A and B are shown apart, each in its own frame.
Chain A
Amino acid sequence: MAFNHKHILGTEYLSREDIQLILDTAESFREINTRSIKKVPTLRGKTIINAFFENSTRTRLSFEIAGKRLSADTVNISGSTSSVTKGETLEDTARNIEAMHPDIIVIRHGHSGAPHYLAERLHCSVINAGDGAHEHPSQALLDMLTMRQHKGEIDGLKVAIVGDIAHSRVVRSNLYALNKMGADVHLAGPGTMMPSGIERLGATVHYDIRAAIKDADVVMMLRIQLERQGLTLLPTLREYARFFGLNDDVLKLAKADAIVMHPGPMNRGVEISSAVADGPQNVILGQVENGVAVRMALLYLVSGGEQAVE
């Protein structure tokens, strides 16, 4: 089957078949990352601009490594060093970037919809690397690749996502994608962090971590965004850790072979105890490893590649 998307703006716009194709392609790319020479010439001559107008280390690094392993030329722009700080609008920045004829722009932006805005105006492909509290598609896809590796099929899995649901773009992307793949998604978090009507996106809402985690196959903990709204919505971090933190006792409620995921970076002792973070059920570093493969797949597929479904 063919991949017909020029842009990757969110998992909302991907079909079940698209997601399957991306995961299968990523699986093939994982092999390259284990070689001694981790480079193939697939995207030789292509220019990828990583425009990160919001802080990010691992996503930017992951996209940069993915591009370089496919032999593309990758250039990074970060918010603090770009002309945005001098008052330039996103449109002007975009036009200037386009004048340099890139093939793909990977954009992270603090405002929801910024990648869509660019996709409508630019001729090159746009990949959303996180926009505001809206979507973070590559994170959701790498989460699903990790689930598939550990659980075989995503269809029928009970996935519990716990934390600041309201401000998490990871949750939204995962909700769209997991529902399409047939997973049963349960959300838990404090009432101040649970947006009203989120059930409509296809999830069961709980205000008790124990109810959400019971018999789960996958437990995904979200980061409390200390630098943003986190602290204004909580009485204290200690209370949050007590009621919504994942520790050994709580984890026992999930299935014995449940995996623990976290999009990172972790606040140890807040949303996840150190014992769980370093425990045998965590697959957090596997998520990071899969991130490179998934991003290679996205760069390849928007460049015109496709993978036959056997």
Chain B
Amino acid sequence: MAEQGTLILDKAGVRRALTRIAHEIIERNKGVKNVALVGIRSGGDDLAKLLARQIAAIENIEVPLGTIDITMYRDDLDSRGGKPIGKTEIPFSLDDMKIVLVDDVLFTGRTIRAAMDALMDLGRPRAIQLSVLIDRGHRELPIRPDFVGRNLPTAINEKIDVVFDGERNPLEVRLIKS
């Protein structure tokens, strides 16, 4: 667990942000018919689980939930020496679904591009929306989130650390200056 840095969101703050995002997803889609959540490993998948729980509490409907690993879709295998590979698990058909992609931090947008490529290989969703807990700026691609927990303009050398506990529940968000 990170000890240094500035606290941006505490546990209650993260919970409030997710509750608000859950309401926004329901409102934007006029309910949750044909809506599914897909979390991006790792971090986004844990938040997607919580969002699904929030949506179930509000609407009393369990939305389909999947996770996607984008390592194989990254465009920087050479420069970064590879990233850990996880499993992609989407136990439902993506065809004609409104997919809400969930990630913890939105930065350059390259992860989201990779996730969209990965989703398109698995099916043909009707729409893809993007939900992030923190939007820290510095986009390198024309990608904009639909649902944001917190907009946080950062310096390029700063780091956002979303801290999870042992049960993969978010504890807090910290801004770390290097």
Contacts and interface: CB of A to CB of B under 8 A. Distances in A.
B82 A300 contact: yes
A303 B72 CA distance: 12
Interface string B73-99: 110011001111111110000000000
Interface string A285-301: 00000000000000011
A35 B121 CA distance: 9
B62 interface: no
Interface residues of B, number: 20
Contacts of B87: 27-28, 31
B66 to A, nearest CB: 12
Nearest to A32: B72
Q: Which of A2, A27, A39, A307 has the most CB of B within 10 A?
A: A307
A42 B72 contact: yes
Contact of B82 (A27, A29, A40, A305): A305
B77 A28 contact: no
A40 B100 CA distance: 22
Tell me the dominant secondary structure on chain A's binding face. Answer: loop
Contact of B86 (A28, A301, A303): A28
Nearest to A44: B75
B88 A31 contact: yes
Contacts of B74: 42
Interface residues of A, number: 23
Q: Which of B86, B118, B121 has the most CB of A within 10 A?
A: B121
B122 A35 contact: yes
B69 interface: yes
Nearest to B118: A40
A303 B122 contact: no
Interchain residue pairs A-B with the least CB separation, the first 3: A305-B82, A308-B84, A40-B72
26 contacts: A28-B85, A29-B85, A31-B87, A31-B88, A31-B89, A32-B72, A35-B121, A35-B122, A37-B121, A39-B121, A40-B73, A41-B117, A42-B71, A42-B74, A42-B77, A70-B72, A303-B82, A304-B77, A304-B78, A305-B71, A305-B82, A305-B83, A306-B82, A307-B82, A307-B85, A308-B84
